[in-house]
A and B are shown apart, each in its own frame.
Chain A
Amino acid sequence: MAKDKAKIVVKDLNLWYGDKHALHNLNIEIQKNKITALIGPSGCGKSTFLRCLNRMNDLISSVRVEGEVVIDGKNIYDKDVDEVSVRKRIGMVFQQPNPFPKSIYENVAYAPLKHGSVKKGSDCDDLVEQSLKSAGIWNEVKDILKEPGTGLSGGQQQRLCIARTIAVKPDVILMDEPTSALDPISTEKIEALMLELKKDYTIVIVTHNMQQAARIADMTAFFHLGDLIEYDETEKIFINPTHKKTEDYITGRFG
């Protein structure tokens, strides 16, 4: 793989929850405009790793991180990097759809207005429309923009959350099991949306659903007990894994 296509380079990443060593010496290169899936059994550290990529772990006071996460040539754990500006460029979508209890319009417009990237008025209206279109939900909500976002269905709420993330104009979107709380039809819509979004964004997704990883991911990383066991192209991982553990997990022998 060509070096210039790497968007995120993780070097010797270690993480502790208090005394518990949760991530061991991770090294991984995440490629630009690709979907990278993180799979592994519960408690393997894949969500923790995902949260390292936008410094969400900083919110937990007992967490200590060592190593480097270099995004576009800059280590986000450097002293001169503020975690708030990291999260602005590395957006995140969560497992539970979590729209703010405000109107659909405000859900999308709130963060860009606070960041000062748009002014109130037609600019902001355009941004909201663009973001909702990119998230594939515009046609469903264009007439009810003033209604609360919490009144939408689960799948619509999750797409609203994606629209809200896109509105901040990030480079990378992190998704932490974004479809595990949704029904199959909503899941399908979100998967189609991800394939659409990877043209403009680098996407990292944590999933428990191996078919989902096989369907949409270009690259797949298998985690086990805080170690990165194997990281390769999705086809290779699912058809011809190098490690025995990966094969056992994928074929359902444990997990």
Chain B
Amino acid sequence: MSKIKKNKKNVFYDPSLKRRHFKSKLFKYFTLSSLIVSLAFLAIFFIDMVVKGSSAVQQTYVQVEVSYNEQSAENYRDAVDKKYLELLSRAVLREIPMQIKKNPSLLGTTKVAWMLADDQVDMYMKEYYYKISNKDLATLTELIENGRVEKKFNTIFFTHGDSKTPEYSGILSAMIGTILTLAVAMFVAFPIGVATAVYLEEFSEQNAWSEFLEVNINNLAAIPSILFGLLGLAIFINLFGFPRSSALVGGLTLALMTLPIIVVSSRAALRSVPATIRQAGYGLGLTKVQVVKDHVLPLAFPGIMTGSIIGLAHAMGETAPLIIVGMIAFIPDSPTSVMEAATVMPAQIFTWAGMPERAYIERTAAGILVLLTVLISLNAMAVYLRKKFEVKW
């Protein structure tokens, strides 16, 4: 915009223009600054999580001699040299007698192995706050000098469930719990939600009753999620007697919560299908089913998919209703069916966040990163599906 000068010949000169342009500029920068603030919040959160969680990628291992003999078959404390006992993960040591029982040929052998270190050793190696006695610290320093302490990639985090020893705890069982719970929620909420939307949009007559329903479906979508947890507890556990803490109950509860979101978004998708398509169908003497199934639903499908996936992604990050139905349980072994006790990722993160040990902090952050990765992939999938099934006009 070039400057318009006051000039008798300039018929377009307007004295108020300067002030008005200034105001619109001000408005533009106000909206821009809001965007910057929200982006800054997001960036701070992500950077903080990545910084805190990145150290969980590695875990400390100590090289020691493990002897499999009569004593260690009875008591794991005899499997390694006494001075290393406090430096090693108790969870791994405890498994030695079981290994011998499973594989008796190990008896009488000794081997030099990389054993998982105790969480305090790990904290020491990662230069966080640690609590190790002077005697153990001296042993550890000696081991480090001999190159017998190493940080390796933390496979345990991705292959194990929760544990009371932080170095041995992982996200796997919570991940499987999340998958099972979401599967139940999807199989229940998607068909019921879409069918409800089709009925309301295509079949029901517009009257006071349908308006009442519409208002209340929107209300349901806004109900605090913890109330759905109470509903799930009352109906699925107390009335139907389904096993508590199970993915079945959690999934059904999340389905209740997601249902209104799916109904509302599916209705919007159905409503956005142009009326001319329905008229064309009816004008050809087609029945309602033929028009809805073959012409309206395919056009509404991308919108329905997007709404449902976003609803499920929302349900996936939900914790409160699942705490009520007992899915905050301590689950070391991954559930193999929807009837078994399970926990979900956000509940796992919540549990770890409340633990006193320093080593759980990095696990909390790493858990959040895993959860966010899955959430972002789900949303990316929603965008992809939308693009793929979108009908070109």
What is A's interface to B at a CB cutoff of 8 Å? 54, 56, 59, 61, 84-89, 91-94, 96, 98-101, 110-111, 114-115, 148, 150, 161, 164-165, 168
Interface of A is mostly: helix
Query: Given A61-B206, A94-B276, A101-B299, A110 and B294 touching (CB < 8 A)?
Result: yes
Of B23-31, B142-150, B285-293, the one with at least 4 CB within 8 A of chain A: B285-293
A89 proximity list for chain B (CB < 8 A): 285
What is B's interface to A at a CB cutoff of 8 Å? 205-207, 274, 276-287, 290, 294-295, 298-299, 391-393
Whether the Cβ atoms of B280 and A84 lie closer than 8 Å is no
Interface of B is mostly: helix
Which 6 pairs of residues, A with B, have the shortest CB-CB distance? A88-B285, A92-B283, A98-B276, A87-B285, A111-B284, A101-B391
Whether the Cβ atoms of B392 and A87 lie closer than 8 Å is no
Query: Measured between C-beta atoms, what is the minimum distance from A47 to chain B in Å?
Result: 12
Query: Given A56-B282, A100-B277, A84 and B205 touching (CB < 8 A)?
Result: no
Residue of A nearest to B280 (CB): A98
Whether the Cβ atoms of A84 and B283 lie closer than 8 Å is no
Whether the Cβ atoms of B290 and A114 lie closer than 8 Å is yes
A93 proximity list for chain B (CB < 8 A): 283
Partner of A98, one of B279, B287, B298: B279
B280 proximity list for chain A (CB < 8 A): 94, 98-100, 161, 164
Interchain Cβ contacts within 8 Å, total number: 66
Give the complex CA separation of A59 and B393 in angstroms.
25
Whether the Cβ atoms of B205 and A94 lie closer than 8 Å is no
Residue of B nearest to A106 (CB): B294
Residue of B nearest to A100 (CB): B295
Give the complex CA separation of A164 and B283 in angstroms.
10
B285 proximity list for chain A (CB < 8 A): 84-89, 111, 115, 168
Query: Measured between C-beta atoms, what is the minimum distance from B273 to chain A in Å?
Result: 10
Query: Measured between C-beta atoms, what is the minimum distance from A178 to chain B in Å?
Result: 12
Give the complex CA separation of A84 and B283 in angstroms.
9
Beyond the given pairs A94-B276, A100-B277, A164-B280, 10 more chain A to chain B contacts, judged by CB atoms under 8 angstroms and listed by A's residue number, are A54-B283, A56-B282, A59-B282, A87-B283, A87-B284, A101-B277, A101-B393, A111-B286, A114-B294, A168-B284
Give the complex CA separation of A160 and B298 in angstroms.
21
Whether the Cβ atoms of B284 and A88 lie closer than 8 Å is yes
Give the complex CA separation of A61 and B208 in angstroms.
13
Give the complex CA separation of A150 and B280 in angstroms.
14
A56 proximity list for chain B (CB < 8 A): 279, 282-283
Give the complex CA separation of A110 and B290 in angstroms.
10
Interface centre among A87, A94, A98, A150, by most B CB within 10 Å? A98
Give the complex CA separation of A96 and B283 in angstroms.
13
23 CB contacts below 8 A, A to B, read A56-B282, A61-B207, A84-B287, A85-B285, A87-B283, A87-B285, A88-B284, A91-B284, A94-B276, A94-B283, A98-B279, A98-B280, A99-B280, A100-B277, A100-B280, A100-B295, A110-B294, A148-B392, A150-B392, A161-B280, A164-B280, A164-B284, A165-B284
A85 proximity list for chain B (CB < 8 A): 285
Residue of B nearest to A54 (CB): B283
B298 proximity list for chain A (CB < 8 A): 101
Residue of A nearest to B279 (CB): A94
Give the complex CA separation of A219 and B208 in angstroms.
44
Give the complex CA separation of A148 and B392 in angstroms.
9
Residue of A nearest to B289 (CB): A114
Query: Measured between C-beta atoms, what is the minimum distance from A80 to chain B in Å?
Result: 17
Query: Measured between C-beta atoms, what is the minimum distance from B111 to chain A in Å?
Result: 68
Give the complex CA separation of A86 and B283 in angstroms.
9
